[in-house]
Amino acid sequence: MSTLGRGRAPRRSTALSSRTRTRLAAGTLLTPFFVLFTVAMIVPVGYALWLSLFTEKQSGLGFDGPRTVFDGLGNYATALGDQAFRDGFWVLLGYCALYLPLMIGGAIVLALLLDTALARARRFFQLALFLPHAIPGLIAALIWIYLYTPQLSPVVAAMEAGGIGFDFFSSEGTLPSIVNIALWQWLGYNVVIFYAALQAVDRSLLEAATVDGAGNWRIAFSVKLPLIRSSLVMVLLFTVIGSLQLFTEPLILSRGSGSAVTSTWTPNMYAYSAAFERNDYGLAAAASVLIALAAAALSFVVTRFTNRRKEARP
Amino acid sequence: MSRSWSRSVQALVGAATALAVVTACGGADDSRARGTADDPVTVSFWAWTKGSQEVVDAFNATHDTIQVTFEEIPSGGLGGYPKIANAVKAGIAPDLLSIEYPQLSAFVSQGSLQDISPYLTEDIKKKFLPQTIEMTTLGGRNWAVPFDAAPQVFYYRKDFFAEHSIEPPATWGEFRDAAERVRKAAPRTRIATFFPDDPTFFQAMAWQAGAQWFRAGTDAWWIDTTDPASERTAAYWQGLIDDRLVSTASSFSPEWTGSLKQGTTVGYLGASWGAGVLAGIVPEQKGKWAAVRLPSQEADRPASGMLGGSTFAVSKGSTRTAAAVEFALWMATHEDAIKARIGASTSSALPASPAMVPIAKRAFDTGFYGGQDLYGLFEEAGRSIGPQWVWGPSPGATNAALGDELGEVVGGGSTLPRALRKAHEATVADLRKRGLKVEERS
């Protein structure tokens, strides 16, 4: 009894201390994350929610300084009731309709090609495709504005020489113009993700398929693609959320060129314009919260939809 | 495209919060008008106008009781104003800010600036062109020290006009004729550019025609962006745009500067400060340019609106108001300041203080304009600035709406008269949302 007790006691204490140590280590390693997460995410989001409930009212001729008054959900009603804000979502929808198929389809095709290409060509194309991604969006937009500008751009000049007249800055031209910039910038990035997933596919499966008489097309669509499903879902999710954030490229296009991009063209631009052109911080905060909610809802739908289809499979 | 979670929330609120945290470290209380040589008052100053650094250096070299620390910020439309607005909100704004006339009222109505009426005595006000004092007086109080007046003039390629024996136009009727003759002489060449990205460009010409969009009543604003003068200006420019007699590049865009370099744009309806900018864009065309006063409705009744122009205002949180105003007045009305700015940079600003104009004239190198007496022209144009124009408390709403619509106008999706109505509706809606009373012409 006593021997048992004596024998057990130290064992329990080591068990405890090791558990405490694990906790301590976990705590120490996680603290920086939670501190940053709190400072950079929780506090700003909380502040945005707080700001969105207030509005500024003025008196007389408006030169006595504003009073901040509680407005409940007034800013949300204003944002939702504003045609310009709602139109922004339609623009995004059009953007997604054009951008998503081109991006996902293009990236898959290129990744499959890379996967079958010769080793040396593979390395070259991988780098060539990825390079544009190394250029910041702002710089890319500035370069593309130059390439879109009539009378300056060699591209437009070449197109005109070939009998193609296209105004990249017209109201019909702006959406393709911006989709093109985004494609150029992100295509290589997504190709690399798909390509990495394809590389992880078990080669013996492919050999088995070949032995069974499957051609390259059949292998690509019936073996490779189903096996990189999870990467597909991830890229789709990131691209959809990324599209909701559309801001830099259209902003540069609206300022630096005579394009038909308005100051409230996308929801994010609406929030920016509300804050910094119209000095309405409450409205800007409400619009931002609404965009965040839309992003959350959309990612929920995308993950839910794709998971269900996965579960439905045998 | 960022893949992080809602960027706008982060950008907007993150910045505000971060700045708010720093607020506590704001400057020490220093309300002395002047310090001593050993312990000078330090005034911080933000601007982007040409020659600001030179002026600050000149001031610091000749003063020991006030010292200025200068920071160059991006120009207003390209991020300078959001930067100022954020800094003021966070309580870390510098003491003195450079703000253009159209935005001054926005910052005043946001409560971002200090009333400096006590420092601007009648004697001091007399030193300035009356219109510039009018425009910095809002609600009966003075909010800024005017630095320059910015009348609009017409710059043109003298060599091109002479070669094709086209006379520089004196009236808008002649301007249209000249535009047709320019295009006839060189089919790809245009007389000037209608800037769709800058609503103040169109406003300046409506202003010249006698428009008054904002009128302060006793406790309500009268808003009318569709008065006869504005409608007339809109119809005139719509005609030029429809008939492709002017180009429609954005101001200072690669498209615009490229066409100047190639010689396919042979005129520029720019402000006084534009002379230096133009010379900087196409230095190789030295001696080929000249300027005349802006065409007007009738040849014998010259008039002008203002296109930009800057003022110096003291931020709300500053405790060094007296020193900041002293420095601002020095920049606007002291010979050394004008010499430093105009002489050391390519600035061609027309000082708001008429006594300074001869100084600026001597300091400015007019070689680019073949030695023409530009300041004589500017001075005359400055006196003709229509005194009726004031800016309402939300120029941002008006100009954002007008600017969006102007992009459509040059794309063929809208017209200038429609743009004016849109600007009107946006202005009225914004003022009402702020709780202000608005009267409209019925």
The answer to whether residues B105 and B66 touch, using CB atoms and an 8 Å cutoff, is no
Which pair of tokens denotes residue B106?
């926005």
Put simply, whether B82 touches A (Cβ < 8 Å) is yes
The answer to whether residues A127 and A234 touch, using CB atoms and an 8 Å cutoff, is no
Give the domain ranges of chain B.
7-148+309-364, 152-306+388-440
pLDDT at A136: 87
CB < 8 Å to A64, chain B: 111, 139
The answer to whether residues A65 and A196 touch, using CB atoms and an 8 Å cutoff, is no
pTM: 0.84
What percent of chain B is predicted at pLDDT more than 70?
92
Put simply, whether B432 touches A (Cβ < 8 Å) is no
pLDDT at B378: 96
Put simply, whether B186 touches A (Cβ < 8 Å) is no
In the structure, what pLDDT confidence band is assigned to residue A241 with cuts at 50, 70 and 90? confident
Lowest mean pLDDT among A5-19, B196-210, B360-374: A5-19
Cα separations in angstroms, B242 against B120, B236, B327, B409, B412: 48, 10, 48, 10, 8
* Signed CA dihedral, B114, B118, B122, B127: sign only: negative
Q: Is the pLDDT of residue B9 over 80?
A: no
In B316-355, the residues whose Cβ lies within 8 Å of chain A are none
A258 → closest Cβ in B7, B89, B410 = B410
In B5-64, the residues whose Cβ lies within 8 Å of chain A are 5-10, 12-14, 16-17
User: Measured between CA atoms, how close is A9 to chain B, in angstroms?
Assistant: 50
Put simply, whether A177 touches B (Cβ < 8 Å) is no
CATH architecture of B7-148+309-364: 3-Layer(aba) Sandwich (3.40)
Probe site for chain A from B4, B7, B436 (most A CB atoms < 10 A): B7
The answer to whether residues B106 and B394 touch, using CB atoms and an 8 Å cutoff, is yes
The answer to whether residues B56 and B287 touch, using CB atoms and an 8 Å cutoff, is no
In A249-278, the residues whose Cβ lies within 8 Å of chain B are 249, 254-264, 268, 271-273, 275-278
User: Measured between CA atoms, how close is A213 to chain B, in angstroms?
Assistant: 42
Its ipTM equals 0.81
* Nearest Cα residue to B269 out of B168, B340, B130, B356: B168
What is d(CA B350, CA A281) in angstroms, rounded to the nearest whole number?
Answer: 36
CB < 8 Å to B253, chain A: 149, 256-258
Mean pLDDT for the stretch of residues B230-238: 96
| Contact assignment for B433 to A257 by CB distance below 8 Å | no
pLDDT at A257: 67
How many residues would you count in chain A?
314
Q: Is the pLDDT of residue B14 over 80?
A: no
Residue B353: alpha-carbon gap to chain centroid: 16
**Same fold across B7-148+309-364 and B152-306+388-440:** yes
Put simply, whether A299 touches B (Cβ < 8 Å) is no
Superfamily classification of domain B152-306+388-440: Periplasmic binding protein-like II (3.40.190.10)
pLDDT at A312: 53
| Contact assignment for B221 to A62 by CB distance below 8 Å | yes
* Signed CA dihedral, B222, B228, B232, B234: sign only: positive
Q: Is the pLDDT of residue B26 over 70?
A: no
In the structure, what pLDDT confidence band is assigned to residue A305 with cuts at 50, 70 and 90? confident
Cα separations in angstroms, A230 against A35, A223, A240, A298, A310: 31, 14, 15, 18, 10
Residue A177: alpha-carbon gap to chain centroid: 18
User: In the beta sheet, which residues pair with residue B98?
Assistant: B312
A–B: how many Cβ contacts below 8 A? 198
| Contact assignment for A295 to B77 by CB distance below 8 Å | no
What is d(CA B356, CA B339) in angstroms, rounded to the nearest whole number?
Answer: 9
In the structure, what pLDDT confidence band is assigned to residue A152 with cuts at 50, 70 and 90? confident
| Per-residue pLDDT tens digits for B283-292 | 999 999 999 9
User: Measured between CA atoms, how close is B6 to chain A, in angstroms?
Assistant: 5
User: In the beta sheet, which residues pair with residue B193?
Assistant: B247
The answer to whether residues B382 and B305 touch, using CB atoms and an 8 Å cutoff, is no
Q: Is the pLDDT of residue B256 over 70?
A: yes
Q: Which residue of B has its CA nearest to A48?
A: B13
In the structure, what pLDDT confidence band is assigned to residue A20 with cuts at 50, 70 and 90? confident
Probe site for chain B from A67, A278, A280 (most B CB atoms < 10 A): A278
Q: Is the pLDDT of residue B376 over 70?
A: yes
Q: Is the pLDDT of residue B310 over 60?
A: yes
Instruction: Collect all residues with Cβ–Cβ distance below 8 Å to B379 and sequence separation of at least 6.
Output: B350, B354, B357
pLDDT at B28: 43
What is d(CA B343, CA B339) in angstroms, rounded to the nearest whole number?
Answer: 5
In B262-281, the residues whose Cβ lies within 8 Å of chain A are 262, 264
CB < 8 Å to B9, chain A: 44-45, 48, 285, 288-289, 291-292
In the structure, what pLDDT confidence band is assigned to residue A118 with cuts at 50, 70 and 90? low
What percent of chain A is predicted at pLDDT more than 70?
91
Mean pLDDT for the stretch of residues B239-261: 93
Put simply, whether A172 touches B (Cβ < 8 Å) is no
User: Measured between CA atoms, how close is A294 to chain B, in angstroms?
Assistant: 10
| Per-residue pLDDT tens digits for B34-68 | 778 788 999 999 999 888 999 999 999 999 999 99
CB < 8 Å to A169, chain B: 411
The answer to whether residues B206 and B233 touch, using CB atoms and an 8 Å cutoff, is yes
A258 → closest Cβ in B16, B108, B250 = B250
What is d(CA B348, CA B364) in angstroms, rounded to the nearest whole number?
Answer: 7
Mean pLDDT for the stretch of residues B393-419: 90
pLDDT at A14: 56
Computed over every residue of chain B, the mean pLDDT equals 89
